[in-house]
């Protein structure tokens, strides 16, 4: 019979109760486990395959810095194919087989919502993810889940405030017909009204294979000064901008986190020309090439040059990897605080320390020191893409909501 950690603790407690001896203090484990579900196959396989090496870098650097309370970590990655049920099965398997699982990283809003009811008692684990879904930033409902930055509603706030600061008066919302796409719309309408900005178009598209000419025609008819694109990762958002430019529209396009990847913007520019010039969007973090006031980024960069030479990760970490690293660093901060107090690394102890992160120096992810409020960090800034430099460059100060 296999005796795992949970069954050992249960039988051990029963035995000490029978013979009247004091419970033995739990010895430190040989390692702690950080498990992940990533889309190594499927529609977002490119993102998963780039995040996976970043996760192993996180493991190596964390262990070089003493692990958690002197105990090393091991990062385990399983493929989800971006299917929430597969990610849930991965989590359940990790929970059953890894006796010292202390943190989990999920691949989607769908998974985070699916797993939430199971995060109770012995099945609870501190959990970050790729998601910025608004409903995850709710410690009363989801005490173990957190958002590594501003929610999609917060990102709309930052973009709309930037429009107001520039004197803009009209905006269009074009979004994918997904939960991801619809997340911030109601809030965005309300925020726009508060700022005196008129929402002149709300247009839903397919997440992939959208009818670009039809959507661009509607945008032209709306005469919107600005257009916020929400709920896209790869193909549709550049196609919408390209279609608008072919029609001669001067609309200023803006995106949220998943539409802010330099690799995609560079590829589009190389293949189709400089029509993304001036594209704006909100990013919670510095880009990896912005290292002057970011000592953590310099640590990553040194590791990348040594261990990822000859790969796309040698000199640049995609935004997807930055988000995953930030999420894991936040979880690590909470877990180290638990260990430093001499407490057991339970989900409840970790969640308590997570909620208490205030005025945190992230080492460069965010410009200012940041705080965890309602299990999120509502900070970001607006960047603008330059086709000449191939860089997203800051357009605003750091903004918090």
227-257 tens-digit pLDDT: 999 999 878 999 999 999 999 999 999 999 9
Q: What residue numbers bound the domain in which 316 lies?
A: 30-149+293-370
Average pLDDT value over all residues in the chain: 92
Supply the DSSP string of 52-121, one letter for each residue: HHHHHHHHHHHHHTTTBTTB-EEEEEEE-TT-HHHHHHHHHHHHHH-TTEEEEEES-HHHHHHHGGG-SG
Provide φ and ψ at 211, rounded to 5°: -80, 85
**pLDDT, tens digit, for every residue of 29-60?**
999 999 999 999 987 888 889 889 999 999 99
Query: Are residues 364 and 239 located together in one domain of the fold?
Result: no
CA–CA dist 223, 387 (Å, integer): 25
For the chain, the residue count is 401
The DSSP letter of residue 24 is: P
Number of domains comprising the chain: 2
Query: Are residues 160 and 130 located together in one domain of the fold?
Result: no
Query: Are residues 93 and 164 located together in one domain of the fold?
Result: no
Model pLDDT, residue 46:
82
Is the pLDDT at 159 greater than 80? The verdict is yes
Query: Are residues 67 and 99 located together in one domain of the fold?
Result: yes
**pLDDT, tens digit, for every residue of 137-157?**
999 999 999 999 999 999 999
Is 7 a member of any domain? no
Query: Are residues 178 and 219 located together in one domain of the fold?
Result: yes
Percent share of the chain, pLDDT over 90 = 87
Q: Is-contact 175 230, C-beta < 8 A?
A: yes
The structure tokens 């405030």 sit at 161
CA–CA dist 385, 220 (Å, integer): 23
Is the pLDDT at 64 greater than 90? The verdict is yes
Query: Are residues 229 and 327 located together in one domain of the fold?
Result: no
As beta bridge partners, residue 393 has 384
CA–CA dist 400, 338 (Å, integer): 27
Q: Is-contact 276 399, C-beta < 8 A?
A: no
CA–CA dist 279, 28 (Å, integer): 51
Read off the pTM: 0.90
Residue 104 Rama label (left phi>0; alpha psi -120 to 50; beta): beta
Query: Are residues 238 and 181 located together in one domain of the fold?
Result: yes
CA–CA dist 222, 285 (Å, integer): 32
CATH number of the domain at 109, please. Answer: 3.40.50.2300
CA–CA dist 144, 158 (Å, integer): 26
**pLDDT, tens digit, for every residue of 264-314?**
999 999 999 999 999 999 999 999 999 999 999 999 999 999 999 999 899
Q: Compute the half-sphere exposure of residue 44: CA atoms within 13 Å on the CB side of its CA.
A: 21
């Amino acid at each position: 019979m296999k005796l795992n950690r949970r069954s050992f603790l249960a039988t051990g407690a029963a035995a000490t109760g029978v013979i009247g001896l004091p419970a033995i203090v739990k010895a430190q484990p040989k390692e702690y486990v950080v498990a992940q579900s990533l889309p190594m196959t499927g529609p977002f396989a490119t993102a998963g395959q780039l995040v996976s090496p970043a996760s192993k870098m996180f493991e190596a650097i964390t262990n070089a810095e003493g692990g958690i309370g002197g105990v090393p970590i091991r990062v385990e990655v399983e493929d989800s194919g971006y299917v929430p049920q597969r990610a849930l099965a991965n989590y359940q398997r990790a929970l059953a087989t890894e006796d010292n699982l202390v943190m989990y990283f999920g691949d989607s809003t769908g998974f985070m919502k699916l797993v939430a009811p199971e995060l109770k008692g012995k099945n609870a684990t501190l959990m970050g993810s790729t998601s910025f879904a608004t409903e995850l930033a709710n410690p009363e409902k989801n005490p173990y889940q957190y958002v590594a930055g501003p929610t999609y509603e917060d990102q709309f706030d930052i973009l709309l405030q930037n429009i107001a600061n520039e004197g803009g008066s009209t905006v269009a919302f074009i979004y994918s017909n997904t939960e991801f796409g619809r997340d911030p719309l109601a809030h965005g309408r309300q925020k726009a009204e508060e700022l005196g900005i008129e929402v002149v178009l709300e247009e839903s598209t397919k997440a992939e294979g959208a009818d670009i000419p039809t959507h661009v025609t509607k945008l032209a008819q709306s005469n919107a000064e600005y257009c916020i694109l929400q709920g896209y990762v790869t193909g549709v958002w550049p196609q919408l901008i390209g279609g608008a430019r072919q029609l001669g529209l001067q609309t200023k396009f803006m995106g949220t986190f998943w539409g802010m990847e330099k690799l995609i913007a560079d590829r589009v520019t190389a293949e189709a020309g400089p029509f993304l010039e001036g594209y704006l969007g909100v990013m919670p973090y510095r880009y990896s090439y912005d290292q002057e006031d970011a000592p953590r980024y310099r640590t990553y960069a040194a590791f990348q040059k040594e261990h990822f030479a000859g790969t796309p990760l040698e000199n640049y970490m995609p935004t997807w990897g930055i988000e995953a690293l930030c999420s894991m660093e936040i979880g690590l901060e909470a877990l180290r605080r638990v260990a430093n107090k001499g407490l057991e690394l339970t989900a409840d102890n970790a969640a308590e320390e997570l909620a208490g992160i205030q005025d945190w120096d992230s080492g460069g992810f965010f410009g200012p020191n940041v705080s965890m409020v309602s299990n999120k960090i509502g900070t970001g800034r607006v960047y603008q893409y330059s086709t000449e430099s191939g860089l997203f460059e800051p357009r605003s100060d750091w903004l918090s909501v």
